[in-house]
């Protein structure tokens, strides 16, 4: 008992011996709270509850084939709630083949003329990450800064209403022919970047295939993590930046995260300049955007 209180000793009355199936044994199954029910001040509530039980007990004694009282099975709603606690399955990682002739999303321009579909994808990623990883504190404006530097927001919002790029977005082939780029051999058999032999960056947020496969996220809830979908790309970028328990509210940790994208302080400066611009609505000056 709470507080370790002691109670006085009282002489216990003798406990009558009863048969397992007797009326007294069954009335002991009545929850104690029912004893306070009104209308039974003379104790008749026990008799009222015991009557049907006595009848059933006597009948069961007379006919051994009649099943006795058994515990009710667990309620189905509890099973459904338990299932809902399980994490969702990982998304299928692939690029979805879509028909030609799709038209750009018809959304109003966003902050500083940003395509509406792109801003919607960044805000969507911010909401999901706030719920899944609140420690990170990922702002939509940082994702927008990455998207601005990497692909100018899918080349000015060239994506349909579902966020799918109208044409696949690829970076240069990483075969060593372009000065300053590393040589990266094929890691996905061309499944994501459509290229054999070497890799190239994919989607509006320009992920390498190997990195995409590791962090791939489903931003639009269709069960697929497609680098050519703006919603998937924005959420995956957020997961990548947040990995390692980094906090984007700390400038030093944010810098570390951005350097994962491109190990260049000029790159970091550009991304942060655009992040600040989307927060303030003021376009960055040319002096704030060093050449990468």
Residues 6 or more apart in contact with residue 29 via CB below 8 angstroms? 53
In this structure, the number of other CB atoms found within 10 A of the CB of residue 172 comes to 11
Q: Which residue has the tokens 């579902």?
A: 162
Taking the C-alpha atoms of residue 249 and residue 240, their distance in angstroms, rounded to an integer, is 16
pLDDT in tens, 134-180: 999 999 999 999 999 999 999 999 999 999 999 999 999 999 998 87
Q: Give ∠ CA 256-178-227 in degrees, rounded to 5.
A: 55
pLDDT in tens, 113-133: 999 999 999 999 999 999 999
pLDDT band at 230; cut points 50, 70, 90: very high
What is the per-residue pLDDT for 181? 83
Taking the C-alpha atoms of residue 57 and residue 23, their distance in angstroms, rounded to an integer, is 8
What is the per-residue pLDDT for 178? 86
Residue 199 confidence (pLDDT) above 80? yes
In sequence order, what are the beta bridge partners of 164? 229
| pTM score over 0.85 | no
For residue 98, the number of C-alpha atoms closer than 13 Å in the C-beta half-sphere is: 19
What Cα–Cα distance (Å) separates residue 277 from each residue in 142, 262, 273, 274? 10, 20, 6, 5
pLDDT in tens, 211-223: 999 999 999 999 9
Taking the C-alpha atoms of residue 272 and residue 258, their distance in angstroms, rounded to an integer, is 9
């Amino acid at each position: 008992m709470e507080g370790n209180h002691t109670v006085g000793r009282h002489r216990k009355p003798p406990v009558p011996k009863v048969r397992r199936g007797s009326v007294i044994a069954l009335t002991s199954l009545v929850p104690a709270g029912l004893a306070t029910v009104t209308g039974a001040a003379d104790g008749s509530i026990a008799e009222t509850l015991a009557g049907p039980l006595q009848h059933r007990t006597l009948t069961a004694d007379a006919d051994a084939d009649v099943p006795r009282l058994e515990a009710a099975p667990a309620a189905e709603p509890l099973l459904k709630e338990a299932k809902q606690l399980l994490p969702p399955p990982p998304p299928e990682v692939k690029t979805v083949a879509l028909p030609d002739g799709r038209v750009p999303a018809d959304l109003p321009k966003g902050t500083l003329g940003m395509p509406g579909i792109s801003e919607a994808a960044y805000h969507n990623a911010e909401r999901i990450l706030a719920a899944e990883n609140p420690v990170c504190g990922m702002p939509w404006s940082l994702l927008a800064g990455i998207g601005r530097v990497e692909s100018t927001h899918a080349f000015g919002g060239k994506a349909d209403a579902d966020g799918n790029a109208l044409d696949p977005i690829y970076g240069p082939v990483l075969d060593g022919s372009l000065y300053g780029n590393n040589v990266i051999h094929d890691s996905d058999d061309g499944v994501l970047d459509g290229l054999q032999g070497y890799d190239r960056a994919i989607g509006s947020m320009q992920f390498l295939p190997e990195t995409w496969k590791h962090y791939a996220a489903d931003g639009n809830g269709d069960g697929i993590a497609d680098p050519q979908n703006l919603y998937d790309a924005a959420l995956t970028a957020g997961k990548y930046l947040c990995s390692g328990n980094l906090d984007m509210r700390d400038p030093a940790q944010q810098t570390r995260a951005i350097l994962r994208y491109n190990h260049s302080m000029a790159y970091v400066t550009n991304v942060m300049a655009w992040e600040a611009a989307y927060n303030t609505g003021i376009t960055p000056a040319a002096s704030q955007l060093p050449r990468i």
